[in-house]
Structure 1
Amino acid sequence: MPHIAWLGKKSPFCGNVTYGISTIKALRGRGYPISFIHFDTPTTLSQKISVSQLTSDESNLKNQSEAEVILPCFIKSQVYTIPLPGAQKELRESLRRIKPDLVHASLTLSPLDFRLPDLCQQLKVPLVATFHPPFDASQRSFMAGAQQLTYEIYAPALARFDRVIVFSELQARILCKLGIEKERVAVIPNGVDTDYWMPASSDYTSSILKNVRQRLGTSRVFLYMGRIATEKNVEALIQAWRIIRPTGCKLVIVGDGPLRRSLQLGNEECDILWWGYESNRDVRVALLQLAEVFLLPSLVEGLSLALLEAMASGTACVATDAGADGEVLDRGAGIVISTQEVTKQLRTLLPILRDQPILTAQLGCRARARALERYTIDRNIDALERLYGELVF
């Protein structure tokens, strides 16, 4: 098996982090030795793992102490990373020590991203990028225009990577229009563990599930799960909910972000539950299993992992057509709305979803079937293995 050096983030919780950790776990499960190179701030650099802390699936590394390498950074947010001046030198020296067969960078929107092609060419190591900033190809908002600029800035550097992984055909077309050779772009949709993210059994035997149900009460649950930030457009969802006030239903908002405090202020009615950030994955599973409808009103997206997890859990899904989310739910796997006038569209949809529980149940079944068809982690890793084979062997 080729030795992979994976460059990315371990925290804070976001789609990039979840993608990296789940992919590394799956690759190690198939026997790949992985060195995880990630950013951390100086206050926690002293917490580097020791050899005794390494798990058994890392034991096949030539040098166990290189199973995890930390690069110093000044800022590490859910959106971007600013490395300290010594990070580039540390990365170069680490790769020389590790001697990987391939470098895979889950790009963190960092200045270091632009140095990777030169560095890997010097070391004569194939370089793969996963590029997953959110987008809206129609540029229907200021936020979409700003994200388009990110793609334009990155395009010249991405053209020098051996392969660039994106999550949808639409995203691939954007990069090709920006001058990246079609042969360098690989469409590998994100994937989730559909044996973990799955509908609950009818007897509700899980203690976590029972505890979550107790906290939610007896109301039918409409759920948003994700960052509470401008691009997620949670405000439009709250506005529609306050107008309709679906009888017997509760809007549960799971997550945190820069807008949480301002949106929560004045929107703490009994039919809106501000759950907050949830770090326990089992609890997030239970929330999706108990939710009847998952709502994603984003202005821009890449391919939402939360959406895929909701689909795999058998939850009826409503999402905007930002990024690849419309492609994910096409042909009846869910309800797709426009990024324009989200509040107005939800005002129409919420009463229908409230009054048609049979419809939401059918949509949940279709969502689960689509996740099994296209978006399993095994399918993702199969494609990744084929790509690695093209570059290493």
Structure 2
Amino acid sequence: MRILNICAYTWQAGGPPKIIFDHTQVVLRYGHQVDILSPFTPGEKPYPIPEGANLILCKRTPLISRFFREFSVELYQYLQKHIHEYDVIHCHGLWHFGTLAPFMLDRKIAKVITIHGVLDRWVYAHNNWKKELMNSLAQKAYLRRADLVQINNTDEQEDILRYLGQPHPNVVVIPNGVKTSDFAQLPPKGTFRQKFNIPANKQLVLFMSRLNVKKGLDLLLPGFRDYVQKYPNTILALAGSDDGYQATTQQFIDQHRLSDSIRLVGMLTGDDKKAALADADVFTLPSYSEGFSMAVLEAMAAGTPALVSDRVGFGDTIQQYEAAGLLSSLTPEAVTAGLEKLLGDELLRSQVAQNATGMVKKLYDIDVVAKQLLDEYTKIVQKK
């Protein structure tokens, strides 16, 4: 098969590029071809490309892309010329031009849409005017036409029902996966602390995601402030690119004189990311909404004890395996209490980390979940 993924394939895009990268590595091993079609703005940094795959960059169209960021005439022109060379077109997310264009151009090629959590009530309520406009441009109709809709958890099935007003006939639940072998050997302990001047005798809480209010930073910041007032021997490292909340975060740090306790360390990749996970006493993501959090999966694969909300995409499974501390509610007080419980009990941290790594290896290893998706591709192509 020849497969085309359509996604903003940049570091700034968050989890989907990582998901595509890992899936593509597996798909290539089975002898298939993979292209990645991505809108981009000059100056953006593309995500790494798996060896053997092909990345096609199409410039976003000025003016229009100020309001609809993924709009690209070049992308449309590429599809016009090449769409019939593919067996499967896989679109990532909704309300992007790249999710509309293939349906505008063709009815014969098998098309897949991965929701990536964007129909969650919290997400859908934001920038709603843009979404309603895209719906009027046939986003709902195109979603109904998809040969396969991949969702990461059963909650998304209810989201689709609420959005479409009826069940979609071609839905499959396939979670995100992680390459567990990547985390089998981590950098030596202390590497991250030394690089960012974090004392070895202080407990380290790590937040690693885009700096966006959706990620629960408005809960984490006051929750950690209250925690550190009681337990000053603690540092919070915020690792991630700015996605609209860095200025607010910095203002909070300055206002509450927390510069010695909260560090903005920027986006971490490669060994720096692994070193941070190795050194952290607790990883936290008190998110309001995630399709299926890659950051949480990677922390668990690395054996870092986690404190998360039940909205990270697999909260029920985390609870079943006792694989993390789950926030009792989405409040700063719950963050404070969760930190007190985990950071105050080394045995508990060890147990939840052990439970988490076992769960990830069993359920979410990339070789398992990528093969599931590949099998679904084969089914829809055969139907076509």
- TM (norm. structure 1) is 0.82
Q: Of residues 182, 196, 199 in structure 2, which corresponds to 1:217?
A: 199
Alignment gaps of 5+ in structure 2: none
Q: Which residue is 1:84 aligned to?
A: 72
1:135 CA drift (Å)? 5.4
Distance 1:189 1:157, change over 3 A: same
Q: Which residue is 1:172 aligned to?
A: 157
Q: Which residue is 2:10 aligned to?
A: 11
Classify the secondary structure of the residue corresponding to 1:71.
Answer: strand
CA distance in 2, matches of 1:329, 1:112: 33
Classify the secondary structure of the residue corresponding to 1:265.
Answer: helix
CA contact (8 A) 2:285 2:308 kept: yes
Q: Deviations over 1:184-210 (max 9, x none)?
A: 11111000111113474xxxxx46x54
CA contact (8 A) 2:191 2:279 kept: no
1:69 CA drift (Å)? 2.5
1:240 aligns with 2:229: no
The one-letter amino acid of 1:296's match is L
CA distance in 2, matches of 1:103, 1:11: 19
Q: Of residues 360, 376, 381 in structure 1, which corresponds to 2:370?
A: 381
CA distance in 2, matches of 1:198, 1:264: 35
Q: Which residue is 1:259 aligned to?
A: 245
Counting matched residue pairs gives 360
CA distance in 2, matches of 1:169, 1:55: 30
CA distance in 1, matches of 2:117, 2:69: 13
- Identity among equivalent positions (%) equals 21
Classify the secondary structure of the residue corresponding to 2:106.
Answer: helix
CA distance in 2, matches of 1:334, 1:80: 37
Q: Deviations over 1:90-139 (max 9, x none)?
A: 2221224xx11221222363134223224231xx2111111113454xx5
CA contact (8 A) 1:133 1:147 kept: no
1:102 aligns with 2:88: yes
Q: Of residues 171, 175, 189 in structure 2, which corresponds to 1:185?
A: 171
CA contact (8 A) 1:198 1:314 kept: no
CA distance in 2, matches of 1:55, 1:20: 9
Mapping 1:349-368, distance limit 5 Å: 349-368=338-357
Classify the secondary structure of the residue corresponding to 1:276.
Answer: coil
1:18 CA drift (Å)? 1.6
CA contact (8 A) 2:60 2:69 kept: yes
The one-letter amino acid of 1:57's match is G
Distance 1:7 1:134, change over 3 A: closer
Q: Which residue is 1:203 aligned to?
A: none
Q: Which residue is 1:157 aligned to?
A: 142
Q: Which residue is 2:106 aligned to?
A: 120
Q: Which residue is 1:64 aligned to?
A: none
Q: Of residues 230, 234, 247 in structure 2, which corresponds to 1:249?
A: 234
Q: Which residue is 1:37 aligned to?
A: 37
- TM (norm. structure 2) is 0.84
Distance 1:144 1:277, change over 3 A: same
1:308 aligns with 2:297: yes
Structure 1 stretch 262-271 or stretch 314-323: which is displaced more? 262-271
CA contact (8 A) 1:298 1:319 kept: yes
The one-letter amino acid of 1:241's match is F
CA contact (8 A) 1:144 1:299 kept: no
CA distance in 1, matches of 2:263, 2:50: 38
Q: Deviations over 1:220-249 (max 9, x none)?
A: 211100011121121321111111213432
The one-letter amino acid of 1:90's match is Y
The one-letter amino acid of 1:73's match is R
1:384 CA drift (Å)? 0.9
CA contact (8 A) 1:135 1:300 kept: no
CA distance in 1, matches of 2:38, 2:370: 21
CA distance in 2, matches of 1:148, 1:362: 42
Distance 1:319 1:135, change over 3 A: farther
The one-letter amino acid of 2:79's match is L
1:211 CA drift (Å)? 2.8
Structure 1 stretch 347-356 or stretch 377-386: which is displaced more? 347-356
Q: Of residues 283, 288, 291 in structure 1, which corresponds to 2:277?
A: 288
Distance 1:120 1:386, change over 3 A: same
CA distance in 2, matches of 1:240, 1:291: 18
Classify the secondary structure of the residue corresponding to 2:169.
Answer: helix
Q: Which residue is 2:52 aligned to?
A: 57
The one-letter amino acid of 2:306's match is C
Distance 1:249 1:44, change over 3 A: closer
CA RMSD between the two structures: 3.0
The one-letter amino acid of 1:346's match is V
CA distance in 1, matches of 2:176, 2:275: 21
Q: Which residue is 1:390 aligned to?
A: 379
CA contact (8 A) 1:171 1:324 kept: no
1:335 CA drift (Å)? 2.1
